[in-house]
Copies of this chain bind each other. A is one copy, B any other.
Amino acid sequence: MEYSREPFTGNFHFGPFLLKKSVEVFYVSKLSYGIVNLKPIVPGHVLVIPKRVVKRFKELDLNEVYDLWHSAQLIGGRLEQYYHVQAMTYCVQDGEAAGQTVPHVHVHVIPRRAGDFERNDQVYEMLEASSSYLHGSRKWEIDTEERRVRTEEEMEEETKLLRTLFM
C-alpha cells in the first residue's frame, strides 16, 4: 500500500468533535490527517490522527498504522526544518491510564529545543495539562491558566502556514 496526499474533502472528526477543516486540518493522506492544536505546548505542536475514529492504537489495521506513522514521520521532518529544531518528541497516550483524554488515537508531534522546558521531561507535564483541557469543551475562549487557548483566527493562520509545507 502506498500512502499519498489527498484532497481536503469529507468530514473529519477528532473523537466526538467535528473538526473545522479550514481552521484545524493542515495535512490529509489516504487514512490520516494532521491538525493544529487548540492549546499547543510549543510552536508546531500538532496531532496526527487516523481518519477512522477508534480509541486505541491496537484497533488500527495494518494500513492505518502504516499511513499514520509515515504521515507522522513526514510531518515531523517538515516541522523540524521549518522550526529549525534538532529534535522531536513523538508520543501516543493510548488509553485513559496513559493520559488519553479524547477517545480517538492520536500521535503528538512536538518540535523540541535544548532548554525548551525547565526540566526536559516537563514537556509531558505540559502535554497532560494541555490534553486535560479537552475534557471540558473545545470552545474558543481565553483560558485562566498560564497558557491560553488560541482563537480560531490564530489556529486558522497556523493551519494556512503549515499547509504550505506539504504542497
Interface residues of A (CB under 8 A from B): 57-58, 60, 62, 65-66, 68-70, 73, 76-77, 80, 85-100, 110, 112-114, 116, 119-121, 123-125, 127-128
Q: Which of B77, B80, B116, B127 contacts A121 (CB 8 A)?
A: B127
Q: Which residues from B are CB-within-8-Å of A116? A: 97
Least CB distance, A161 to chain B, in whole angstroms = 21
Q: Across the interface, which residues of B come within 8 angstroms of A89, CB to CB?
A: 91-94, 98-99
Instruction: Give the residues in chain B near A98, CB-CB below 8 Å.
Output: 87-89, 110, 112, 120, 123
23 pairs, A vs B, C-beta closer than 8 Å: A57-B88, A58-B73, A68-B69, A85-B97, A87-B95, A87-B96, A87-B97, A88-B92, A88-B94, A89-B91, A89-B92, A89-B98, A89-B99, A90-B91, A90-B94, A96-B114, A97-B112, A97-B113, A98-B110, A98-B123, A99-B120, A99-B121, A119-B125
